[in-house]
Amino acid sequence: MNKAYVEWRDEGYWIVNTRVSLDTIVYAFLDGQSPESIAQSLPALTLEQIYGAIAFYLAHQPEVETYLEKAKTDFETKRKAARKSDPVFYQKLADARCRVETIPIIWSHIESRLNSSLPKWEEHIENFDQVAAIEERIAGKTWNDDEVFEGLLMAVLSSGIDWSKIEKIRHELKDVFCGFSLEEYAALPDTKIASYVVPWFKERKAGSPWLKRNLINLTHTARKLAEYSKTYGAAERYFTSLMYQCDDDPKQVALCIGLSNKYKLPSFGVPVAAEALKNLGFDVAKPDRHILRAMGSFGLVHFNRWPDRSKNKPPTTPTRSELYETMASVEKIAVNAGKYVGFVDNAIWLLCAMSGLDLTNKELTVIAYKAHSKGCAN
């Protein structure tokens, strides 16, 4: 029986069990790229999958080309009809088309800016270990309770501080946090955190203003997950169960952990929840202040509350739908580029964070303006 590499779903051709469209590979192939070259630019796929996709295209060339042409024709038909019957809808359609055409160009400008201003940016991302975690989960790795706690801890420590300060002391954290034992940290009294752990961070100038509150709340999360592990066999199953309930959408899982009454974990808002999921190998973007302002400055997400856009100011109190749309926009960029969402998320973070280029909103808007000018020229 021949192995299937391409499937039809969501009204399009996709590589089986991935979020990479056949269109991406076909256009690269028609542009003269070799399978090896395409594989290098699409780390989510194996060389076997690339060859399988190309073979599918060659075997079904008339159908695939008809599908690609029909997609263009359908859009133009809707565009012309909207222009005649509903000018407002037409403008929305034109704006949507502009965003779609802009997405791949924005990514190329992001790469260009990082290449010129932060030459070792890909090494920075590699050192975050999140892409490796994503690849390990895809390969079938499971996380034991202590590894889960370490991932949660690193997410909590990332909140409200220059991450480079945490990186400098990361090698010492295992001794401070009970050898990353979930059960031992769950039993840690609040007085120990206040009298020992928080001062330890302050001595190293690595404590955020709300570190004490966050670490105490983390003990409550540790207790909840330790009990869950005793009942269901592993703390990790708390997250894989949520993935199952959310139709394998880590964006929805981040919202559940950060916002829902039933699944909320103490100390975890949506951004920190998404960061924890990334540390545990789930491929999702972290909608923190940096990613929020980047998606807003790029024109991909509209925020109702963003009164001050000066310097590096982010939108204020984003809604649930705005947080979801932010994560989804990063995902769209990643899918179009054939990259992991976590990789693209970290690249955009490096554009914005103090540990990276620390670009202002105005500088981010310039990237978007160049992309929009090229992508929406027609």
**What is the C-alpha separation between 239 and 170, in angstroms, rounded?**
24
**What is the C-alpha separation between 120 and 249, in angstroms, rounded?**
31
Contact call for residues 271 and 286 (beta carbons, < 8 A): yes
Q: What is the mean pLDDT of residues 181-194?
A: 97
Q: What is the mean pLDDT of residues 315-335?
A: 95
Q: Write the pLDDT tens digit of every residue in 198-249.
A: 999 999 999 889 999 999 999 999 999 999 999 999 999 999 999 999 999 9
Is 50 exceeded by the pLDDT of residue 34?
Answer: yes
Using only C-alpha atoms, the chain has a radius of gyration, in whole angstroms, of: 22
Sequence-ordered strand ranges (E) for the chain: 6-9, 12-15
Residue 33 is predicted with a pLDDT of: 80
The torsion angles phi and psi of 324, rounded to 5 degrees, stand at: -65, -45
Write down all domains in the chain, each with its CATH number in brackets: 6-85 (1.10.10), 113-129+286-375 (no CATH), 144-279 (1.10.340.30)
Lowest mean pLDDT among 4-18, 92-106, 293-307: 92-106
**Could you tell me where the DSSP H helices lie in 118-210?**
121-128, 130-138, 145-157, 163-169, 173-176, 182-186, 190-192, 198-203
For residue 290, the number of C-alpha atoms closer than 13 Å in the C-beta half-sphere is 25
Is 90 exceeded by the pLDDT of residue 177?
Answer: yes
The torsion angles phi and psi of 9, rounded to 5 degrees, stand at: -155, 155
**In the 8-state DSSP scheme, what is residue 140?**
T
Q: What is the mean pLDDT of residues 96-107?
A: 68
Contact call for residues 326 and 291 (beta carbons, < 8 A): yes
Q: Which of 75, 69, 110 is CA-nearest to residue 94? A: 75
Count CB neighbours of 369 within 10 A.
14
Count CB neighbours of 113 within 10 A.
20
Contact call for residues 97 and 78 (beta carbons, < 8 A): no
Residue 369 is predicted with a pLDDT of: 76
**What is the C-alpha separation between 100 and 28, in angstroms, rounded?**
18
Residue 29 is predicted with a pLDDT of: 84
Q: Which of 286, 326, 320, 269 is CA-nearest to residue 302? A: 326
Position 22: which residue type? L
Percent of the chain that is helix, strand, coil (3-state, to 5) = 70, 0, 30
Q: Which uninterrupted H or E stretch holds 368? A: helix 361-375
Highest average pLDDT, of 17-31, 66-80, 118-132, comes from 118-132
**What is the C-alpha separation between 302 and 313, in angstroms, rounded?**
15
